[in-house]
Amino acid sequence: MPAWNIPILLTWLRILLIPLFTVLFYLPAGWLNNTEINWFAAFLFAAAAITDWFDGYLARKWHQTSDFGAFLDPVADKLMVVVALILLVSIGRTYAIFAMIIIGREITISALREWMAQLGKRSSVAVAQIGKLKTTAQMVAILLLLIYDIPWLGINLIWLGNVFMLIAAILTLWSMFYYLKMAMKEFR
Average pLDDT of the chain, as a whole number: 88
pLDDT > 70: percent of the chain? 93
CATH number for the domain formed by residue range(s) 6-185: 1.20.120.1760
Q: CB atoms < 10 A from the CB of 134, how many?
A: 24
List Cβ neighbours of 17 (8 Å cut-off, separation of 6 or more): 44, 47, 48, 80
pLDDT tens sequence across 136-157: 999 999 999 999 877 667 788 9
pLDDT band at 159 (very low <50, low <70, confident <90, very high): very high
* pLDDT given for residue 107 in this prediction: 92
Rounded average pLDDT over 114-126: 72
CB-CB contact of 143 with 88 (8 Å): no
Give the Cα separation of 106 and 113 in Å (integer): 10
59, pLDDT greater than 90: no
**C-alpha closest to that of 119 among 186, 42, 67:** 186
pLDDT tens sequence across 23-49: 999 999 899 998 899 999 999 999 998
Of 13-17, 69-73, 152-156, 163-167, which one has max mean pLDDT? 163-167
Q: Which residue ranges make up each domain of the chain?
A: 6-185
